Amino acid sequence: MSISALNTPVNMRSGSLTSSSLNSSRPTADSAQVTTSQDAGPCASLEETFASCADQPVSLIIQSRDQEKLAALKAQLLADNAQNKVTADLPIIGGFSIEMAAPGQDTLEQLTQAQENGQVSISLDNEAGYIVSQGEHIPGQASGASANKGLAEPGVSVNTPATEASSIGEGGKQTNVMLGVRELHEQGFTGKGTCVCVLDSGIAPHPDFGNRIIAFKDCVNGRDDVPYDDCGHGTHCAGIVAGDGTNSGGKNVGVAPEANIVGVKVLDACGQGSTSQIIHGIQWAITHKGKYGIDVLSISLGRPIERTRFLDPMTMACQVAEKFGLTVVISAGNEGPDPGTVASPGNAPDAITVGALDDGGTETTDDDWPAYFSSCGPTKFDHLEKPDIMAPGVDIISCSNDAEGYVKMSGTSMAAPFAAGVAALMKGANDHIKNDQIKSIIMDTATPIKYVDGEPVTDRNKFGAGIVDPRQAVDQALALAKK
């Protein structure tokens, strides 16, 4: 099975996806079981899955090529048990998510037969989370996100006034200083006229965003009226993309400080979200691409790869977003340096998957070093070369969701928005550039990492094409515009 382009465009004006726009390939018989482990093939049966959950409901994603049969199946499941609840319609992957109690025997047999006949694909609606590595944190008052258990703490918030912003701690790095970004700003390349959608834990209205948060969607709590971030991770990522440094006297400036921002909340206060919530967020970004002029989708989250990319609903959604013209930038994961540790949806072939670089906080790459935690390829099951690129991701200073301060975080979560900001600069330099051209240029202009610890590096699954070069990437985008 393969993922193909959607032949009928989404109606961007109405902001809706309809079944007529879903002519992409769908799962076939090789996805006829619920995938619950690290096995590429069929795993637990439906009966075993429900039995293992005792009296607890099971969250599933059900997909099918046949939309009429899918609708009939949905109606049947809702009628089968009043406790069953559809949590999201997901037309971009030809499916829906549902919270189900143990089904009756007739329904269970029908679902099982539909799987075996290749009529539907059923997968668990697993949780994903933000991708931040533990490291040195800023001393001070803990943010709400640090209460999260089971995930690396994203950092500690510091409430520093603008006049004291530089006292944020030792070793923190300012985004605009690295890799020539400040030089591009001085030349007038600031991302003005572009829009980056940050798919994360939300976005707090920090002074560094001014009036550039032009839309907000809450796929977790349904609070769409006012932007917020009860975790802090999304605000930090958004600041790396597009903070303008207002509250730090121009010191803590993002890569594209005049780009507009759209915040889509898919992660909760603990930095976790279901696969269906994340797909719903991607779907919303696609349908609102025209309304808000969204150019780039920045995704700093993930979970272990459990299926081939052809059967992974989250990866499929990212591929669809690419087909609709969005430049999708995804963090690689923090499970490195072992091979095969890239997270989903970083296994999306057309997306820009970003590993983390320990940048020295300077404009040169002489003092740069690959971060020890950055995940490496090849991708599990599909053996794709990933990541595609490396970007700064260690001790990055950016906006806090707590009042008006800043916070220092590390992880490939920080590297992805850096690269997303570069994509916005390129789009600002050449409004006609396509998303596949952006990826090609970013990779072609990267600075190769030739040696680590004095040893030559030949495996692109460790560092991709190398270190992103914002100046060269923008130059090539301009050159392309003149052709």
Residues marked active site are found at 200, 233, 413
Closest-CA residue to 252 (of 353, 352, 360, 361):
361
DSSP string computed for 126-146: -EEEE--B-----SSPPPGGG
345 preceded by a cis bond (ω within 30 of 0): yes
Q: Which residue has the tokens 């030792």?
A: 170
Say how many residues make up the chain: 483
* CA separation for the pair 201, 143 (Å, rounded): 14
Closest-CA residue to 15 (of 321, 288, 296, 323):
288
Q: Can you say whether the dihedral through the CA atoms of 438, 200, 413, 90 is positive or negative? A: negative
- The β-bridge relationship of strands 406-409 and 396-399 is antiparallel
Query: 24: which residues sit within 8 A by CB, 6+ positions away?
Result: 3, 4, 5, 6, 94, 320, 323
CA distances, 270 to each of 3, 50, 233, 280 (Å): 32, 27, 10, 19
**Mapping DSSP to helix (H, G, I), strand (E, B) and coil, where does residue 390 land?**
strand
CA distances, 320 to each of 122, 128, 283 (Å): 19, 19, 9
DSSP string computed for 69-117: HHHHHHHHHHHH-TT-EEEEEEGGGTEEEEEEPPPPHHHHHHHHHHHHT
* CA separation for the pair 399, 235 (Å, rounded): 6
Closest-CA residue to 257 (of 247, 265, 266, 267):
247
